[in-house]
Amino acid sequence: MLNRRFILVAAQALSLIGSAIAEPYNTFDGPGFPACRDVAKVYSPKTIEEAMSIVKDASDKGLPVRASGNGHMWYDTMCSDDPRTIIIKTENLNRISDLVLNGDKGTVVVEGGVTFSQVAEWLHQRGASLGYTLVNWNISLGGAMAMGAHRSSLGEHSQVSTSALSFDIINGKGELVHLDRDQSSDTWLAATTSLGLLGIIARIKIEILADFKVYANQETVDEKDVLNGDIYAEISPYVTANYWWWPGLKKFHKRTYGVVPITKSGNAFQSTFSVTSLEASLAKSLLNAGQNSSIQNFITEAIFYAIWAAPNFHDKKTNLPLFSWPVHGYAYDVLIGGLYPNTKTEWDYDMRGLTFEVAVPVTQANRLLKRMRELFDESAAEGKAVTSTYRSGINIKFGKPFDSFLGQTTTLQSDKSADWSKGAIMLDFPTFRPSTGDHSRYNEAWYAKMQKTIIDEFPTRPHWTKVTRNIIQQSVKNLDPALLARFSAVREQFDPKKTFKSVVGEIIGVV
Ligand SMILES: Cc1cc2nc3c(=O)[nH]c(=O)nc-3n(C[C@H](O)[C@H](O)[C@H](O)COP(=O)(O)OP(=O)(O)OC[C@H]3O[C@@H](n4cnc5c(N)ncnc54)[C@H](O)[C@@H]3O)c2cc1C
Ligand SMILES: *[C@@H]1O[C@H](CO)[C@@H](O)[C@H](O)[C@H]1NC(C)=O
Ligand SMILES: *[C@@H]1O[C@H](CO)[C@@H](O)[C@H](O)[C@H]1NC(C)=O
């Protein structure tokens, strides 16, 4: 008896020590912004074999594991809330090999931790490009494919995992499982939006294109013309296109991209996030001043709108700003780009954002935007008008249909009352998180009401790394139980011991 009691006390003491050691694993926003609330250890294996043995060891000991690329996600949904969790950072799994280019098209093999900018630069030096399956520059291909990340297009596939021809995934036993593309296989349909629940995406063979040049153009459209327009017809002709909404001004910027001959002059290089320290301190004081002032937010929005009307492009060779539309350059430089010399990202200046992204069938695009307008009008009628507090407004994106069990543009759902066959519109609503007071935004209550209204009134599908736990919980009712069950069955084969855990998986019930 005494003995048993002693063991119990000792075990409690040990677990206390354990939790004292455990610390948060942060997102790109750094301390105060955990991707995982408590983790025990972070590994950075140099080879896939090393990663396999870490997983095998953890799985033998019953420890939860998560892969992580660059932490480019917003909320504490990466892991489960288990302080024994270990993270396998993929930054050193970044080899690129086996380039094959035949005319316009080709393939290349990459390891899962490689970032978009690394692959894009490597390919550009060899006359090739990633095409349209892109997200921002400092994100790993494995992380983007796991979470169903995408850019914005109805004309071309732009969910990153649509480019995958094969995956090598480290499963829950630490074995490497090879899968080849097969849209008729449940395994493939699970793997193309796997949420990291099948295992670590270690290696991917992807489709690529011969290098090419594109233009970027931008025009201003009145809000009523978008809300009442044929949005599908406006967006679908382009290889990539999106709107930025400025609700306070009742305007949209419409950004479009298209292919031009490779001989076309121009070396335009885009940046969405570069800021100088002067710009950062101005923007920060304007935005913080809006914490308790609606009018200030409208003034700030007008300033951002005016700045965003000009190209967010420099000439890559001279680093001089480009002043007029359209601009031209190599595909990756124009579609994504990177950081301008001597600038930093806004988050490096301690400017933080909150975000919310859901997809709705593009056939309901007008109804969605009109409902958002009503919600903005309600905030004004209550005397607490809300508007955009982000340097590029509210991002309205699009996605061509691509079937995977958990993707935002799948057409596999059994409820056909929502028509996903033409693709999706995504409401991607970033906001400034004040660094002052309790960090709440002006009319904070409105955001929760808006989000609930949209989720309740539309068949929304969340972006898996751009919503909070609470939003995922609210979204479950809009997910198809049959697809969740088929996903779970594949997960059972890959990870019967549930080594790869996340709160996302727990909330949607694929555990
Ligand atoms: C500035 C910025 C811009 C962005 N732009 C876009 C955009 O245009 N479109 C879009 O859709 N998204 C965008 N995102 C979101 C981003 O694409 C996703 O959050 C992506 O998952 C982040 O990948 P990461 O490599 O940083 O991985 P992390 O943030 O480290 O991980 C994200 C999730 O993926 C899992 N994971 C990571 N690597 C692997 C792997 N190799 N195998 C299995 N699971 C893995 C992690 O466990 C975690 O659950 C953006 C994010 C930021 C910060
Ligand atoms: C890319 O992300 C990593 C991890 O967040 C960070 O250390 C690095 O500075 C980033 N690079 C750029 C160019 O922002
Ligand atoms: C807004 O009001 C709150 C509550 O009074 C306060 O804590 C915060 O500092 C204010 N913000 C600014 C920027 O003045």
| Structural domains present in the chain | 2-89 (3.30.43), 96-211+481-508 (3.30.465.10), 213-478 (3.40.462.10)
pLDDT at 183 over 70: yes
The share of the chain scoring above pLDDT 90, in percent, equals: 95
Residue type at position 408: Q
* Ligand 3 site, residue 228, Cβ cutoff 6 A: no
Ligand 2 centroid, distance to 138 Cα (angstroms): 6
- How many helices (H) and strands (E) in the chain? 15, 25
Residue type at position 53: S
Ligand 1 centroid, distance to 147 Cα (angstroms): 6
pTM of the entire predicted model: 0.95
Ligand with smallest separation from the Cα of 344: 2
* Ligand 2 site, residue 138, Cβ cutoff 6 A: yes
Q: Would you state the pLDDT for residue 152?
A: 98
Ligand 1 centroid, distance to 158 Cα (angstroms): 15
Closest ligand 2 atom to residue 344 Cα is: 14
Q: Would you state the pLDDT for residue 312?
A: 97
How many degrees, rounded to 5, is the angle at CA 471 between CA 412 and CA 498?
Answer: 65
Q: Would you state the pLDDT for residue 375?
A: 98
Ligand 1 centroid, distance to 70 Cα (angstroms): 7
pLDDT digits (tens, 9 = 90+) for 91-134: 999 999 999 999 999 999 999 999 999 999 999 999 999 999 99
* Ligand 3 site, residue 291, Cβ cutoff 6 A: yes
Token representation of residue 4:
């048993």
CA distances from 328 to 77, 264, 332, 335 (A): 38, 8, 11, 10
Distance (Å, whole) CA 174 – CA 494: 10
Residue of the CA atom closest to atom 2 of ligand 3: 292
pLDDT at 3 over 70: no
Token representation of residue 329:
């350059």
Mention every residue, 6+ apart, whose C-beta is less than 8 A from residue 8: none
C-alpha 66: how far from its chain's center? 17
Distance (Å, whole) CA 90 – CA 76: 19
The average confidence (pLDDT) of the chain is 95
Distance (Å, whole) CA 110 – CA 141: 8
250: left (phi over 0), alpha (psi -120 to 50) or beta: left
pLDDT digits (tens, 9 = 90+) for 163-179: 999 999 999 999 999 99
Ligand with smallest separation from the Cα of 89: 1
Token representation of residue 312:
């967010």
Under the banding of pLDDT at 50, 70 and 90, the label for residue 21 is low
- Dihedral, CA of residue 439, residue 390, residue 350 and residue 20, to nearest 10: 50
pLDDT at 216 over 50: yes
Section 213-236 average pLDDT: 98
Ligand with smallest separation from the Cα of 115: 1
pLDDT at 8 over 50: no
Q: Would you state the pLDDT for residue 511?
A: 79
pLDDT at 15 over 60: no
Contact 367, 453 (CB under 8 A): no
Ligand 1 centroid, distance to 403 Cα (angstroms): 20
Ligand 2 centroid, distance to 185 Cα (angstroms): 36
Q: What residue ranges line ligand 1, CB within 6 angstroms?
A: 28, 66-73, 78, 90, 112, 135-136, 139-140, 142-144, 146-147, 149-151, 196, 200-201, 465, 502
Distance (Å, whole) CA 41 – CA 20: 12
Section 472-486 average pLDDT: 98
Mention every residue, 6+ apart, whose C-beta is less than 8 A from residue 455: 358, 471, 474, 475, 478
Q: Would you state the pLDDT for residue 238?
A: 98
* Ligand 2 site, residue 73, Cβ cutoff 6 A: no
For ligand 3, mutation pick of 436, 440, 442, 443 (most atoms within 8 Å of CB): 436
Contact 193, 147 (CB under 8 A): yes
Does 4 or 457 have the greater pLDDT score?
Answer: 457
Q: Would you state the pLDDT for residue 187?
A: 98
Chain length of the chain: 511
For ligand 2, mutation pick of 28, 72, 138, 269 (most atoms within 8 Å of CB): 138
Contact 344, 274 (CB under 8 A): yes
pLDDT digits (tens, 9 = 90+) for 392-438: 999 999 999 999 999 999 999 999 899 999 999 999 999 999 999 99
Rg (CA), the chain: 23
Section 53-60 average pLDDT: 98
Token representation of residue 134:
């892109």
Section 41-52 average pLDDT: 98
pLDDT digits (tens, 9 = 90+) for 370-402: 999 999 999 999 999 999 999 999 999 999 999
Residue of the CA atom closest to atom 1 of ligand 3: 292
Q: Would you state the pLDDT for residue 22?
A: 80
Contact 219, 311 (CB under 8 A): no
pLDDT digits (tens, 9 = 90+) for 287-299: 999 999 999 999 9
pLDDT at 249 over 70: yes
Comparing CA positions, the residue from 50, 431, 106 lying closest to residue 119 is: 106
